[in-house]
Amino acid sequence: MTNFDNQNQIGQIKTAKKHGTARAQGSNTRYPNRRNNTQVRNPNNQNNNARPQPRRNQTAENYNKYMNMAKDAMASSDSIAAETWYQHAEHYYRTMNASTEPK
């Protein structure tokens, strides 16, 4: 490709951007070197393996960890940090109870 061809192509890209027209169907004008995602996603396909499953005993471990951190914060007179850790512990407490309830 000659220098003239490069300049001509750059001019066409600038004109297309200025007028808001796409260069080609399916082209990505903002990032021209990237391909568009052309996969059709099926909303009925529930891929449960996409998200890692938490270990069941990890919730109890985290609950105890955050409760201990909250108690340490209260012992050092830091009520704001203690409240934060209590909120974290409450989340894991609710998670443990939700996993034991029948559905």
Per residue in 73-101, pLDDT (tens digit) is 999 999 999 999 999 999 999 988 886 66
- Find out whether 69 and 46 touch, Cβ atoms under 8 Å: no
Residue 78 included in any domain: yes
Residue 17 included in any domain: no
H or E stretch covering 56: helix 56-75
Residue 62 included in any domain: yes
pLDDT at res. 38:
61
Q: Which residues contact 88 (CB under 8 A, 6 or more apart)?
A: 62, 66, 69
Residue 63 included in any domain: yes
pLDDT in tens, 23-70: 555 566 676 666 666 666 666 666 656 666 666 668 889 999 999 999
pLDDT in tens, 11-24: 666 665 665 554 55
**Structural domain span for residue 60:** 55-100
pLDDT at res. 97:
86
pTM for this structure? 0.45
